[in-house]
Amino acid sequence: MVPDRAGRAAVPVTGKCPRILSIAGSDSGGGAGIQADIKTITMLGGHAMTAITAITAQNTLGVQGVHQIPTAMILEQIESVVSDIGVDAVKIGMIGSAEAARAVAQYLDKLSIAVVFDPVMVATSGSTLADVDTIAAFGELMDIASVVTPNLPELAALGGKDEVLGHGCHLVIKGGHGEGDVVVDELYSPTGLIRRVEGKRLDTSETHGTGCTFASALACGLGGGLDLTAAFEQAISFTRIAILEAPGLGHGSGPLGHQFVTDFRDDDR
């Protein structure tokens, strides 16, 4: 059983095939969002389900268009899978609007499952994916999240480490946007540092969908019964190998090589 955020029940585990719901936007280029989540969850042995919050016209060069899905339809997708198949863990990525953020938070607050919130604000290409009102509503998602997984710019926009931990969730501070030859990823509980992982910085621009991949891998680990530290370490390993195995597609920041990831549990790269 996986300990959830303070005051919430433990995560139910189904066994060999954890049921993971991704609430996120669709990336037509297949590198990030729902597409990256499905590939990650599948490679980790889970059953991927989706509630699409937005449709994007997107490739490795940027985001050319965004069409938001109505909040009622987002909730209908969630209810459809929860009421029939069931859910062991949830990953939230691009949420689409402030209204959707509040509605999803209210729905998930009724469920005793792990929730991994990746506060997507800007695509790898630099395109904006969340407006000011939506970012302001992220507080309600952090209130119900088990773990929040911002990169360094996103963490700053959320008010910093103490502000995020003040919502009672755990926090992963991802170091990919930092400087130097070493990437530092840190896992915090509301009371302090739990785990710090250092790795060699990978010299590549093939990083489109890295945050989505890490968050969905973390959700799949939790939904499959790993404790938080083990799920964190597995998610780092899976993501690093997927970056190394990137197939080199497109003319910008290319997608990861999820389909080529094997033996990630013993990775020491």
Which residues are annotated as catalytic? Answer: 174, 207, 209-212
Of residues 184, 141, 148, 186, the one with CA closest to residue 165:
148
**Amino acid identity at 185:** D
The H or E element that residue 182 is part of is: strand 182-189
Sheet of strand 89-92, all strands in order from the earlier edge strand to the far edge? 62-68, 47-59, 19-27, 89-92, 114-117, 147-148, 170-173, 182-189, 192-200
Q: Hey, is 55 helix, strand or coil?
A: strand
Place of tokens 């992982």: 197
Structure tokens at 254: 């290319």
Say how far apart CA 176 and CA 66 lie, in whole Å. 26
Distance from the first to the final alpha carbon of the chain: 30
